[in-house]
Amino acid sequence: MKNKKKIPLYYWRRLSQLACLALFFFLFIRTDYSGSDTIEYAVNILFRIDPLLALSASLAAGFFILLMLPAVATVLLTLILGRFFCGWICPMGTLLDGCRTMAPHTGTGKERRYRPLKFYLLGFLLVGAWFGLPMAGYFDPFSILVRGLALAVDPALHAMATTFFTYTYQEAPAWVNGVTEPVYAFLKATILPFSQKYYDLAMLSLGILLLVFLLERVERRFFCRNICPLGALFAVTARFSLLRGKAGASCGKCRNCREVCRMGAIDEERNISPLDCNLCLDCIHQCPGNKISFQFSRLSQGRAAFALSRRNFVGSLALGALLPFFLKSRTLARQSDEFLIRPPGALPEEEFVGRCVRCGECMKVCIGNGLQPAFLQGGLEGMFSPILKARTGYCEYNCTLCGQVCPSGAIRKLGAEEKKKQKIGNASFDRDRCLPYAKGIPCIVCEEHCPTPDKAIKFREVAVENSRGEKVTVKQPYLMDALCIGCGICETKCPLPGASAVMVTSGGESRNPAKALPDTGTAWQVI
């Protein structure tokens, strides 16, 4: 049936992009507590269909991580369809396409110099992951996107909304509030995060995300063409793909297809490179002679060249293999940072860092705002991995969400009762600052909040002289190491300004038997 106004193919692509983007934002917002102890949606699915992260985490783990099995489907589809993922699904790509009009590119769009970068990066990252320097999450587009959104954009959105609606609430007349308050309530119920959260590296995460967008100024999809290691992995796979774009051998001089190609995939002779083409299908409609088509072809066709410098590629592989050994020369290799407190269920450190894809999902979902991205506490290879910063927030006793959203199993999924037995650290008191010790002032807010049914923080009633020279009886807190799970609520709630008088360190964490404390025996050691 021939329809005069047939829907152009690229409409379907756009529809797919918008649908995937909408799904992405829906799942992002749903990465939160919703009244149930379990998250009903596979909010981490984006990271589990990502073959770069699956490969990198699996290489680091030494076996294939089953949780990331969906990534195999992506690879199989790429073998058939080429880099369709970049053009039809990737939310980062969609956002870059969407922002095109805001940041029009200034370059010629035919810059090929940086093209091989992504392949070098891919080689470096995979070899590095294998040898013990897991950095794929630093460059993975989804990790960059979700980190930027979760750590910076989402909290900023909350701040903007509260600032505006506080202003209207306090300053505007009643009739204005009659409109603004329902709007605020609606936003709170839909897109706004439940509460204001605060994150380390918020600005860095935002900066990296913005940089990806700023590079659009150089050429369209600069990140996708030149940097994205996931795109590189798709390109390697797409070299064998069945669906190929074909341009007419003899055509005029219009070059429309080259101008419109967002990936710079079409060369002077109008060959469409499957390494770059993301099947956006724009060129089909730009060709005045209708000479471009996409067809399934036989496997025996010619393979596109990577145009890599062998020396550079071998160099990047060597770097990935050698750099990890330099990590062993740091003091960190002997003595880990005592504030490197990992979420409950985190694997032993080396495995944990290897499998952590730096997606930020656990920090987004942490209802206590306790999980923060590490900067250098875990070394160069541990940036953006989650640590508990107990002064900012704490690990909620009954909550198991971080293990549920972790896409790579770096944080194990724990049952509620199992979680309560995970010791992630141990608290200790600074008696020079703790009020009942230092000033003879009653307090024990820490004891009040201590969540273990048999409280890990206990107190002794002691007669002391306070700073006014009066004899008073105060309750002085002390810790039962064997009961403390390191949740950090004591440190969060300590009412002293500045540093807390009770502080959690990673000593005694159950994932590392070598850190067992004297009076805890072998109660939680893994046998």
Q: Which is nearer to other proteins, 353 or 390 (CB)?
A: 390
Neighbours of 184 (CB within 10 A): 19
Write down the least CB distance from residue 276 to other proteins, Å.
47
Instruction: Report the distance separating Cα 446 and Cα 493, nearest Å.
Output: 7
Compute the least distance from the CB of residue 481 to other proteins, in Å. 18
For 306, the token pair is 């990577």
Phi, psi of 473 (to 5 degrees): -105, 125
For 94, which DSSP code?
H
Least distance in Å: CB of 406 to other proteins?
20
The DSSP symbol for 244 reads E
Say which residue the tokens 């706004």 belong to.
192
Instruction: Indicate the residue among 35 and 62 with the shorter CB distance to other proteins.
Output: 35
Q: Site for other proteins (CB under 8 A): which residue of 267, 337, 396, 418?
A: 396
Residues 113-132 close enough to bind other proteins by CB under 8 A? none
- Give dist(CA 290, CA 201) in Å, integer: 50
Neighbour count for residue 78 (Cβ, 10 Å): 24
Burial class (CB in 10 A: 0-12, 13-18, 19+), 433: middle
**CB 367, min distance to other proteins, A:** 5
Number of neighbouring beta carbons within 10 Å of residue 211: 13
Query: Contacts with other proteins in 192-221 (CB under 8 A)?
Result: 194-195
Count interface residues toward other proteins (CB under 8 A).
35
Range 476-495, binding other proteins (CB under 8 A)? 493-495
Sign of CA dihedral 333, 335, 337, 343: positive
246 or 493, CB closer to other proteins?
Answer: 493
Shortest Cβ 469–other proteins spacing (Å) = 17
- Residue 373, helix vs strand vs coil: strand
Helices (H) and strands (E) in the chain, counts: 24, 8
Q: How far apart (Å, rounded) are the C-alpha atoms in residues 388 and 380?
A: 18
Residues of this chain, 417-476, that bind other proteins according to CB under 8 A: 435, 441-445, 447-449, 451-455, 459, 475
What's the angle, vertex CA 387, arms to CA 487 and CA 322, rounded to 5? 145
Q: Which of residues 23-42 bind other proteins (CB under 8 A)?
A: 33, 35
Min dist. Cβ of residue 504 to other proteins (A): 17
The β-bridge partners of 371 are 388
Interface pattern 51-80 for other proteins (x via CB under 8 A) = ------------------------------
Contact between 296 and other proteins per CB under 8 A: no
Identity of the residue, 32 or 337, whose beta carbon is nearer to other proteins in the bound complex: 32
What end-to-end distance do the CA atoms of the chain give, in Å? Answer: 70
Q: How far is the CB of 96 from other proteins (least distance, A)?
A: 35
Shortest Cβ distance from residue 173 to other proteins (Å)?
Answer: 9
Kindly tell me which residue out of 300, 329, 398, 522 binds other proteins, with binding defined by CB under 8 A: 398
CA 9 to CA 18: how far, in whole Å? 15
Q: Which residue of 52, 227, 340, 399 would you call a contact of other proteins, by CB under 8 A?
A: 399
Determine the Cα–Cα distance for residues 285 and 298; give it in Å rounded to an integer. 25
Q: Whole-number minimum distance, CB 135 to other proteins, in Å?
A: 33
Residue 438 CA: distances (Å) to CA of 42, 163, 391, 462 = 50, 39, 20, 13
User: Residue 328 CB, nearest distance to other proteins (Å)?
Assistant: 40
* Residue 236 or 445 having the CB closest to other proteins: 445
Count Cα atoms within 13 angstroms, Cβ side, for 429: 24
Annotate each residue in 149-178 with x if it binds other proteins (CB under 8 A) or - if it does not, as one string.
-------------x--xx--xxx-------
Query: Positive or negative CA dihedral for 309, 54, 206, 500?
Result: negative
- Tell me whether residue 33 or residue 240 sits nearer to other proteins (CB atom): 33
* Binding mask of the shown chain, residues 343 to 382, with x at each position contacting other proteins by CB under 8 A: ------------------------xx--------------
- One residue of 397, 428, 478, 524 binding other proteins per CB under 8 A: 397
Nearer to other proteins, 169 or 240 (CB): 169
CA atoms within 13 A on the CB side of 519: 7
Distance in Å, CB of 445 to other proteins, minimum? 4
Helix (H) or strand (E) holding 507: none
Binding site residues, other proteins, CB under 8 A: 33, 35, 162, 165-166, 169-171, 194-195, 367-368, 396-399, 435, 441-445, 447-449, 451-455, 459, 475, 493-495
